[in-house]
Amino acid sequence: MLVPASLAGPAHASAPAPAPAPPPSRQPVATGSGGAVSTVDPDASRTALEVLRQGGNAMDAAIAAGATLGVTEPYVAAIGGGGYLTYYDAKKRRVYGIDGRETAPGRMSATSFVDPATGKALPFDEAVTSGLGVGVPGTLAQWQSALRRFGTRDLGSLLRPAARIADKGFVVDQEFHDQTAVNEARFRDIVPTRELFLPGGKVPAVGSTFRNPDLARTYREIARRGPGWLYRGGLGAEVARTVRKPPVDPKAARKVRPGLMEPRDLAAYGALSKRPTRVSYRGMDVYGMPPSSSGGSTVGEALNILGNFHLDSRDPVRALHYYLEASKLAYADRGRYVGDPAKVAVPLEELLSSGFARERACLIKPDRAAAAPVAPGSPDGSYTPCVPPGRSTRALAYEGPQTTHLVVADKWGNVVAYNVSIEQFGGSGITVPGRGFLLNNELTDFTLQPPAPGSPPDPNLPGPGKRPRSSMAPTLVLKDGRPRLALGTPGGSTIITTVLQILLNRIDLGMDLPAALAAPRATQRNTPQVFAEPAFIERYGRALAARGHRLEAFPGPPQGVIGAATALEILRPGVVQAVAEPVRRGGGSALVVRPGR
């Protein structure tokens, strides 16, 4: 029997341990056979590994890990959000994509984020912590679609491990503590969020045990009723009601605007089967997510541009210069042309054409960085050897840097790369009462302010049923039709540059995969500055500045840290190496079924 949310008991259960418990052990690299997984969290990695050991395939394991991340990483992964997934089917030897991106409610318009009193976009923080920023969640529909097409287990069985962890609890580490602390002020203002994530009115201490029995009950009910409970049933009605009337403490001074979501918006939602993008780079095929994500198109365009140059591991500064310049050009085109292809015309084929890449590559000078922002090109099918730089461009739109990524490979050769997100750390800050999960704020990935009259059209304005543009880039690399690499990262609009830089490190600079992930990073997103990690500035700053790059420390969050990648490499038939971050965001967790060398 379903217990009504109002009678479900305390929304939290976080009991301090008698003495601080050690956090679960993490290892960043694992090599072996029988299957592999890399996530940011040991519990999620162990869950996926157990599914693999019990005969489940990569898709089964990825979804079980995603559900567990909804427990242990609730500020970045939850059934209140969405994501993108790429999958290599070993039997068919094909790559597939599933788009589980959130959609805007049917009542949303291009000016929904504009304050009528001022005619300007709402302050960003106000748009984030609101029902207005909440998109229709796509995660459950994506899981259902993925399992129906590629899985071997039912969703209910894959939710059980996560439900057990939610009931039993997990040890609070420094990252969970810090993410809660960053959100403390707004969490206090929203009653069910405060009750769940600030037990006893305090940020959970490192070493304490955090439990979420509400989420355990929700998972078990989804297992019994199926995802239709969200999209056509009572849970969906609760979500829509929470969005329209956020449960704000009456004593709070914070202005939390109501949203526009109705139950019919959830009923209209569907995860989309997508043909991945594909480009060839140094003899390998690189597959990514097509629009509504800009990950595949922008990574692909930048690789196409870089393919016009010889990059040598003996001259990393030159290679990094070209990487930064190619990123700059690709981001200019991303901002001008990429949006939801169901609502705007996206010239994807031309953006990924070799002719367009050559035209863009000719703008790069070997010894001097172009002044940013640079103008977008013209992917019109008519390309000349060189074109002069344009004058008009659009500023980089803000995109929250908080999401998570995981990779899984199984003994049959299937591979998954999966990004899941609720946008900001803590999403909208709004918890569905009695259900144990936060709602996303993904609609703030839209351009909040329509362009001025006479400006070029913006493909990423809000609209009814529209998917906001994303940078998530779950990426698969094949060699001779077989998987070689799978990778991805959180980081908002820095996702694209992180994936690019890891590929550059591995393919062009000759690093092994662990070194390619650990290497210091920089991100150029068509901004005047190149934002970089301190170690990158220390190592390459002077030489790149001599070429005209203006390097500054990445402001975060977290400050000075770009991304938290997960990846795997098929070293030889039957042998896979899983790799996670050794240090960033506390490090990740890489595991294999049968360790070996």
- Tell me the catalytic residues: 403
* 220 φ, ψ (degrees, to nearest 5): -70, -30
In angstroms, the CA 491 to CA 558 distance is 10
Output phi, psi for 332, to 5 deg: -60, -40
CA distance 553 to 356: 32
Query: What is the rounded distance in angstroms from the CA atom of residue 355 to the CA atom of residue 79?
Result: 41
- Write out 172-212 in H/E/C secondary structure: CCHHHHHHHHHHHHHHHHEHHHHHHHCHHHCCCCCCCEEEC
Phi and psi at residue 365, to the nearest 5°:
-95, 135
Specify the pairing of strand 415-423 against strand 402-410: antiparallel
Find, among 11, 19, 22, the residue nearest to 200 by Cα: 11
- Exposed, middle or buried, 596 (CB in 10 Å: 0-12/13-18/19+)? exposed
What is the C-alpha separation between 489 and 495, in angstroms, rounded?
6
User: Among candidates 27, 49, 30, which has minimal Cα distance to 40?
Assistant: 27
**Spatial contact of 327 and 518, defined as CB atoms under 8 Å apart:** no
Phi-psi region for residue 587, left (φ > 0), alpha (ψ -120 to 50) or beta?
Answer: left
**Angle at Cα 591 formed by Cα 589 and Cα 597, nearest 5°?**
125
Closest CA to 78 of 156, 160, 166, 139: 139
Tokens encoding 443? 């609609």
* Beta bridge pairs of residue 562: none
In terms of Cβ atoms closer than 10 Å to its own Cβ (0-12, 13-18, 19+), residue 567 is buried
Cis geometry, peptide bond prior to residue 558 (ω within 30 degrees of 0):
yes
% helix, strand, coil for the chain, step of 5: 35, 20, 45
Reported as type and span, the H/E element at residue 125 is: helix 124-128
